Structure formats: C-alpha cells, structure tokens
A and B are shown apart, each in its own frame.
Chain A
C-alpha cells in the first residue's frame, strides 16, 4: 500500500506543479528566474506536443474535406465529359442530317432516324437491330441508309422484320440480300448479292463484254421496286477471271457501308407497293 500512496503523491505533486506554473503564466505572474530556467524545457516540450497534436488534427480534418470535394469535382467532370461527348455526337449527327437536307437526299420520302442497337458479329445470318419499329411507321421492305458511323446516305439494307419498337434490318452484305444496281459511268446493270459480313459483294448477271470497269460507282436503279433509285451502294473492286466461263463475269464490289461501325441509320418510309 505505501507504494501506491507514493505514486499518488508524486502525481499530485506533478499536477500541482504544472497547475501552478500554468496559473503563473496565465496570470502573467513573473516567476522567479530560477523556476523559469527549470521549467523552460518542460514547457517547451508540452507546447510542442500540443501544437503537433493540434496541427495534425487540423490537417486530417482538412484532408477529408478535400477528398470529398475531389470526388464531387471528378464526378462533375465525368458528367461534363459525357455531356460533351453526347453533344459532340449530337452535333455530328446534326451535321450529317444537315447533309441530308443540303444535298436534298431522299427528300421524296418521309424518314425515320433510328439508332443501331445491335451490330452483328457473326459473318452469316447477321442482322442489324434498330430502336424504331412498327409504332414509328416502319414496315418490311423499307430501305435503310446510313447516317452516322461513316459516309452519309449510302445503302445499308432493308427492314425485314418489325416489332413494336424495334426492327430487324437485313444488311446488303447478307447472303440473303440482292439489290439491282447500275454503273453510273456505263449504265450497265447487274444484281448485287451479299456474300457475308466482311466479304466483298458479288455483282451478278453482268454478261461478258459488258462495259464494267474497276472503280465504277454503283447506284441502285429502282427496277426492283424496293430500293429508290440513286442510292450509292459501292464501287467495283475487282473483275475476274477474263476467260469465258458461263455467261457472266465475276465482279467483286466493295460496299460503302461498314456494318460494324454503323451507329445511326435512316429508314425511308416508302409506300408499300410493287410498281415503282
């Protein structure tokens, strides 16, 4: 027990001494030199501890606030960036649409702008899906042209199936697609058949001796009563072989449309009917 008593006594003395010292400082009582000399280092240590503690605390609090602010800003930044991207995109879309207006493309037909929500990955049987459907006036056999993602107003394909708000588009690259086209230069006609995604198109039924050259621009002619005349489809890429085999030349055509890059398309509302 005397041990504990001693410890308590020392503690009381220590606290008392500090208290007196502090009191002296607060009351601005000049203590005798000696006490100051003795207590100096002690005070110094105490004050250092206090400052350090206080500063550290303050800094910590500040950091938390910055972090929070940072987060907010970053979020805001992200939002702005998204907005900017969207605006840019919209701007681009607008310029594309302006091209439609300025070049008077397909003015005869009412048009519906649609976003491509699915681009095919499979080479065969690949269809595009767009976010407009029956409710927007879409029907099968309606031609589809490109808006954004590449050149404006080139042939994409035709609507083949419609749901209320979605439609399936058969692209020109599909093996099921066939489009009647003519060469702008020589007026020679042929039927352009798809060979699968990522492959060149085949221009069929062009007899040997017909005037088709590499680089010829091919446009829809309208004789199929499905695609309106004058839509750009592609360019003649290669003609082979030269030797007579069968009746027709083998002509490969590079389509303008790049199905995988397609983002926006325009569906032309052609009235249903077979007579052009």
Chain B
C-alpha cells in the first residue's frame, strides 16, 4: 500500500518532470523558430552558395607510332582558359579588367570577345586556348580575385610531322552540334574531339579513352571549396603502324609542288611502308580552327589538298595493261611469242584507235608491248577478250572493290561490264569499249592502293596480300591487345609461267632500251615497273603540248614499280595528278623512293 503522502510526492515529481519536458521542448521550438523563420534568409543563401559541380576529365587519346616507335600522333596538354558566365554575372567588368591586365590585352576588346563568345556557348565559355606557362602561373596565382575563371589543362592532339601524315593518320576536331545528336549516347560531349579522317577516324573507338569525373563543391563565388570525388580518366589505346616515318616524310617532300600520291608497300606481307597524298593541310589547323579565308583557299585549291589521292579512283591508263595481258594469256587468246604489228593505230569498223606513238611501234612482242606500252597490241587483245571475262579477271586481281586497307573514304573504283552498262546507261556494251578498257581508259577506274596491291602480287608470285597499316594495338602500359598479321586474300588467277612473261615485260619497261620507265632504273638493283598516262579528257586530233593544256585537263601520270624484280622487297606506286607522262612525271619520283630505300639516299 502506498501512503497518501508518497502518492502526493510522486504526483509532484510527475508534474515537475512534465514541466521539464515542456521546457526543453519549448527551447527546441524557440530554436526552430529562430532557425527556420528568423534566420531563413541566411541559411537559404548558405545552402545555395555551396553547390556541387561535376566536371568531366577528358581522357588522353591513344598515341600513334610508326614501325620504329616514332611518335606520329600524341596528346600534349594545352592550357585553356574558361569563363563561367554564371559566376561572372555581377563582377563581369571587374574580372575582365583584371584578365585583360594579366593577358596584356585591351579591356574593351576582351569584353566584346567575351560577349560574342558567351552568346555562342552554352555553359562555360572557352575563352583562350593554348596559354603559355607564364600566363597560367599569373592566372592561377590570382584565382581568388577571378571568380568564374578557370584554367584547365586539356589534352590537345599533336602531330609532329604535320602535313606529311595528314591523309594517313587523319586529324581530330571538336564534336559539332550535329554530330552530338547521334554521338551523345556513346558518351561524347560538346567539348570532345572526334577522329575525322584516316586512322584517327578508322580507329576512333580504340583511340578515344574513357572520360574521368571530378565532383567539386563550390561556393557562391564559384571558387572550389572541396574536391568531393575524383575518378581518373582511362587513356585510349595506342596504335603501332607498319609505316616508316622517314620514308613517308621524304615521299611527301618528293611530291612538293605537285598534286599526287605515293604508296609504298612490302609485297611479302602487304604492310604499307608509306601512304602519302600531297598536298595536305597541317592537321593542327583543325584544332586551332581555320580563318574563313584560309578555309576558302583550301577548298578552292586546284591541287585539292583535302582529298586523299591514294584512295581516289582514276583511270589507270597503261598500268592496267598487265591485267589485260594476263587475262588474254590465261584465256589462250595470244601466245607469248606472238608478235603484233603496230602502225600507230588500230581500226575497228569505222573507228580509228590511236596508239600513243603516232608513227607506230612496228612489230612488237609481248615483252616490248609492255616495255614500250604499245596501245595497238592491247587493242588487239581487247577486241579478242570478252568484257565480262576481263571484268571478272580484274576483280580477281583485286580491282573494283575496296583494297582492304580499311581507311575511310576509299573509292573502290569501277570495273565495267555488260551488266553495269545496262544498269547505268540502259545500253548495250559496244565492242569499241573493250579496246578502251584494255588500255586502262574508258569507264575503268582504280585507286593507287589497289594497283600497288596488284603489282605486289605480280612480284611475289601471285599472292594477293591484303594491305594493312596498323600492326599492333596496345594499351598505354604497353600490353598488346591486338596484333595484325599478314593476310593472303587470294591468288592471281594466272599461271606461274604467264606471270613470268609479264615480269619480263615489266623489267624491260625499266631496263630496256625503249622502256618507258627508264627513269626508275638502278645500277645495282633490278627494278621492274610500268608507267601509265591516263587521259582526263578526250584529246583533240592535233594534240597540243602539255604546257598549253589547262592544268585540270592534263593527263594523270602513273608509275608502279617493285624491286628487286626477282624477289621484291618493296612496291612503289606513284600518281601525279595532271602530271603528264608517267615516265617523265611519276617514274623519277618512284626512283627517288627506291634509292632512298636501298641506298638510304636523301636527295
């Protein structure tokens, strides 16, 4: 039993405890009122002030090396200056004035530039690219006074050899708004760069790395308060090429003041040693940006520097003659010993087909027909050949389809046949067209890489090797991810004996008394080759001298050679756009490449 006194005591304590609880709640309530109502403004600002920002860290792009490990394309840091209009809003003039002082420029100019750039950009404004170290140091030391101003080191593509590798390696440029629509899901942002041409484009997925991310806490002034999280970027994979950078650079130099292409290949493997198209712009301009005038000049240049001439298709001219010859030999339409008389023309019905030598070659054998590039000999073969058979044969020699090199923008060329004529023109194939195709003219088109590939097969005993330029892909630590090995696509559809006949003709073309490719002759090494002069427009009856013909109507000059003829180590293909005669314009360039390769001579 509890006595009434005790009960009363308990009652009192309970009330006291109640009061106490109420009191503390009261304290909390008052504090709450203070924080939520009285200090509302203050805390709201504070919360706004500290914002979290995510910044992407760009990944360095994979590097590209030549066969000896010489760097052809790599990244170097470029210090860029970014302005953030959001944080600059109220202090714009003050900050820009200081910026002008640091950059040593005029304030009003800077202000106009900023306003213009702000209008174009969404979010941060990229204000300056490639700041020098001194400026970076000055800006960084004054970060406190420059809210909304940020210096960041971004990877910038760097091509040590500039224009000479432009068409092979390609270039990168910023992702455009148009690209972004399709590329956003692949993780590209407006600040990223994209491989646009050559290997940069072909191997875009391997070369680009994986972006990193940095989470920053910022205050109301845009100053970084804390780095919350940092995920480092993963650099892209490196490419190792089969190309010899010294050969490539010299080859580009050989084409100085000319428009054309040189392709050098190892016929035993199909590995490219050089692939040059000239002239070419410096890839660095694409990163810096062109001025409208420079861009216009580049596009209107008659030398067409933006096109990769090694991958464009042209009429092959006489360089196609070995194909016609092999096809005829295989079909048994002519025996190797047979001689044909060339009076300087060939008559088919009422049409007269002229040999390039107006006064004719007289009696020509197979070897001399190749060596002197007698058109009449091949008109005869052309008349005998069925065009569908010739087309099939040419396709088996690697023409009419991409060479397999895998570079973007390659034109597969055109091997005409009856079906093609019907499809495109709705007309029947004319016999006269046979003759034109037989000497490498008419609708027939091939590219330089296909020709080089075919000549490599002529030299190596009929193995059609798939050309390749990337030998290895490896990750940045040097671990090999993929190694490319030589691949045989097939064999030339010709017997060994017939191949030997053609080879003899090609040797004679360079070493013979009347050979058209004498300019490529070497003393100590036996060179085999074939010239080509491809007509661009139909010539008038009374041919003018080359100098009187306008540039864009002059003939294209071809020359393809391999050496040593018996066991070739390299194949050189030269195309000089509107260069005139193959023997005069193209063969000397091939000779320079051969001399450089065999003698290490640098003229």
**Neighbouring A residues of B153 by C-beta, 8 Å:** 205, 247-248
**Neighbouring B residues of A125 by C-beta, 8 Å:** 219, 225
**CA A208 – CA B543 in complex, angstroms?**
64
**CA A140 – CA B235 in complex, angstroms?**
41
**CA A140 – CA B471 in complex, angstroms?**
58
Q: Tell me whether A223 and B137 are in contact (CB under 8 A).
A: yes
**Neighbouring A residues of B144 by C-beta, 8 Å:** 158, 160, 170, 176-177
In the assembled complex, B363 has its CB within 8 A of some CB on chain A: no
Q: Given A189-B133, A223-B134, A246–B142 Cβ distance below 8 Å? A: no
Nearest CB of B to A137, in Å: 19
**CA A224 – CA B131 in complex, angstroms?**
13
> What 0/1 readout, one digit per residue, does chain B (219-233) give for beta carbons within 8 Å of chain A?
100011111000011
Q: Tell me whether B133 and A244 are in contact (CB under 8 A).
A: no
Q: Given A191-B140, A244-B476, A274-B138, A196–B226 Cβ distance below 8 Å? A: yes
Q: Which of A176, A193, A224 contacts B223 (CB 8 A)?
A: A176
Q: Tell me whether B232 and A245 are in contact (CB under 8 A).
A: yes
* Residues of B461-502 whose CB lies within 8 A of A: 476-477
* Residues of B223-268 whose CB lies within 8 A of A: 223-227, 232-235
Q: Tell me whether A175 and B225 are in contact (CB under 8 A).
A: yes
> What 0/1 readout, one digit per residue, does chain A (165-179) give for beta carbons within 8 Å of chain B?
000001000011111
In the assembled complex, A264 has its CB within 8 A of some CB on chain B: no
Nearest CB of A to B91, in Å: 14
In the assembled complex, A225 has its CB within 8 A of some CB on chain B: yes
Q: Tell me whether B57 and A246 are in contact (CB under 8 A).
A: yes
In the assembled complex, A207 has its CB within 8 A of some CB on chain B: yes
**CA A158 – CA B138 in complex, angstroms?**
13
* Residues of A173-196 whose CB lies within 8 A of B: 175-180, 189, 191, 193, 195-196
Q: Tell me whether A246 and B233 are in contact (CB under 8 A).
A: yes
Who on chain B is nearest to A160 by CB? B144
Number of interface residues of A (CB under 8 A): 33
**CA A245 – CA B234 in complex, angstroms?**
7
Q: Given A175-B223, A175-B226, A207-B77, A244–B235 Cβ distance below 8 Å? A: yes
**Neighbouring B residues of A221 by C-beta, 8 Å:** 137
Q: Tell me whether B133 and A274 are in contact (CB under 8 A).
A: no
Who on chain B is nearest to A127 by CB? B144
Q: Tell me whether A205 and B136 are in contact (CB under 8 A).
A: yes
**CA A254 – CA B141 in complex, angstroms?**
19
In the assembled complex, B344 has its CB within 8 A of some CB on chain A: no
* Residues of A238-276 whose CB lies within 8 A of B: 243-248, 274
**How big is the B interface, by class?**
20 to 34
**CA A223 – CA B141 in complex, angstroms?**
10
Who on chain B is nearest to A273 by CB? B101
**Neighbouring B residues of A247 by C-beta, 8 Å:** 60, 75-77, 153, 155
Q: Which of B57, B75, B138, B219 contacts A224 (CB 8 A)?
A: B138
Q: Tell me whether A245 and B235 are in contact (CB under 8 A).
A: yes
Chain A: interface secondary structure?
A: loop
**Neighbouring A residues of B477 by C-beta, 8 Å:** 243-244
In the assembled complex, B514 has its CB within 8 A of some CB on chain A: no
**CA A219 – CA B175 in complex, angstroms?**
41
Q: Given A191-B136, A245-B235, A124–B226 Cβ distance below 8 Å? A: yes
**Neighbouring A residues of B141 by C-beta, 8 Å:** 158, 178-180, 224-227
Who on chain B is nearest to A195 by CB? B227
**CA A248 – CA B60 in complex, angstroms?**
11
**CA A226 – CA B146 in complex, angstroms?**
15
**Neighbouring A residues of B101 by C-beta, 8 Å:** 274
**CA A246 – CA B137 in complex, angstroms?**
20
In the assembled complex, B348 has its CB within 8 A of some CB on chain A: no
> What 0/1 readout, one digit per residue, does chain A (101-129) give for beta carbons within 8 Å of chain B?
00000000000000000000000110000
**Neighbouring A residues of B143 by C-beta, 8 Å:** 176-178
Nearest CB of B to A254, in Å: 19
In the assembled complex, B43 has its CB within 8 A of some CB on chain A: no
Nearest CB of B to A201, in Å: 13
Nearest CB of B to A142, in Å: 12
**CA A188 – CA B421 in complex, angstroms?**
70
**Neighbouring A residues of B234 by C-beta, 8 Å:** 245
**Neighbouring A residues of B133 by C-beta, 8 Å:** 189, 223
**CA A227 – CA B137 in complex, angstroms?**
11
**Neighbouring B residues of A175 by C-beta, 8 Å:** 223-226
In the assembled complex, B597 has its CB within 8 A of some CB on chain A: no
In the assembled complex, B102 has its CB within 8 A of some CB on chain A: yes
Q: Tell me whether B224 and A140 are in contact (CB under 8 A).
A: no
Q: Tell me whether A140 and B57 are in contact (CB under 8 A).
A: no
**CA A92 – CA B416 in complex, angstroms?**
99
- Interface hub of B140, B143, B219 (most chain A Cβ within 10 A): B140
In the assembled complex, B22 has its CB within 8 A of some CB on chain A: no
- Interface hub of B75, B76, B134 (most chain A Cβ within 10 A): B134
Nearest CB of A to B481, in Å: 16
**CA A141 – CA B101 in complex, angstroms?**
14
Q: Tell me whether A225 and B77 are in contact (CB under 8 A).
A: no
**Neighbouring B residues of A177 by C-beta, 8 Å:** 143-144
**Neighbouring B residues of A246 by C-beta, 8 Å:** 57, 60, 212, 232-233, 235
Q: Which of A141, A189, A205, A244 contacts B142 (CB 8 A)?
A: A141
Between A and B, 16 residue pairs with Cβ closer than 8 Å are A141-B142, A141-B145, A176-B144, A176-B223, A177-B144, A178-B141, A224-B138, A224-B140, A225-B138, A226-B141, A244-B477, A247-B60, A247-B75, A247-B77, A247-B155, A274-B138
9 other A-B residue contacts (CB within 8 Å) besides A223-B133, A248-B153: A125-B219, A141-B145, A158-B141, A176-B223, A223-B137, A244-B235, A246-B233, A246-B235, A247-B77
Give 4 closest A-B pairs by Cβ, nearest first: A178-B140, A224-B141, A180-B137, A224-B137
